């Protein structure tokens, strides 16, 4: 007999909602040739001079994925690596004029997908959900225990 569940299965609900959102986001951004990581790097790089390491931290992107992402942005002519104006040892990611145009378009797509996801809720429920999620992330639950390794999703083999 299965044990009695005393609380809603929050892990399932958040994981499933996140999976559906990521899947829809990936499909929508693919229409303009971007990935969610590419969008994230472009938008954060436009906010100010940031190194590749800083952008990786902001987007929660591991080093290998970050290198691949920036390589793809450079190949597409959307960003370039260049020396930092404040630290000659550091390289920053600078967004090209074309990259800035694409970032504006991709932000519209991201906003649309978020609006569609929240659109299934009433205005009141939408506000409650966003407020509750923000509170969960800022009121102590938003940091992982220091002694625990970061949990990453296991990559499935592709055949």
Q: Which domain holds residue 78?
A: 19-137
- Top-confidence residue, 88 or 145: 88
Q: What is the pLDDT of residues 63-87, one digit of tens each?
A: 899 999 999 999 999 999 999 888 8
Q: What is the pLDDT of residues 98-125, one digit of tens each?
A: 999 999 999 999 999 999 999 999 999 9
| Residue 152 maps to a domain | no
pTM of the model: 0.82
Under 8 Å CB-to-CB from 58, ≥6 apart: which residues? Answer: 40, 44, 50
Tell me, what's the pLDDT at 158?
46
What CA–CA distance (Å, rounded) separates 129 from 127?
Answer: 6
The number of folded domains in the chain is 1
What CA–CA distance (Å, rounded) separates 151 from 100?
Answer: 33
Q: Residue 86's domain is classified under what CATH number? A: 1.10.10.10
């Amino acid at each position: 007999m299965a044990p009695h569940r005393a609380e809603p299965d929050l892990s399932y609900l958040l994981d499933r909602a996140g999976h559906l959102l990521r899947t829809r986001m990936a499909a929508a951004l693919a229409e303009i040739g971007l990935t969610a990581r590419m969008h994230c790097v472009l938008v954060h790089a436009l906010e100010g001079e940031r190194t590749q390491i800083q952008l990786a931290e902001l987007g929660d992107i591991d080093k290998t994925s970050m290198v691949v992402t920036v390589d793809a942005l450079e190949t597409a002519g959307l960003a370039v690596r260049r020396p930092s104006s404040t630290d000659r040892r550091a390289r920053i990611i600078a967004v090209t004029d074309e990259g800035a145009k694409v970032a504006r378009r991709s932000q519209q797509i991201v906003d649309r997908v978020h609006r569609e996801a929240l659109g299934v809720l009433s205005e009141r429920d939408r506000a409650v959900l966003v407020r509750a999620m923000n509170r969960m992330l800022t009121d102590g639950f938003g940091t992982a225990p220091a002694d625990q390794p970061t949990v990453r999703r296991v990559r499935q083999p592709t055949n």
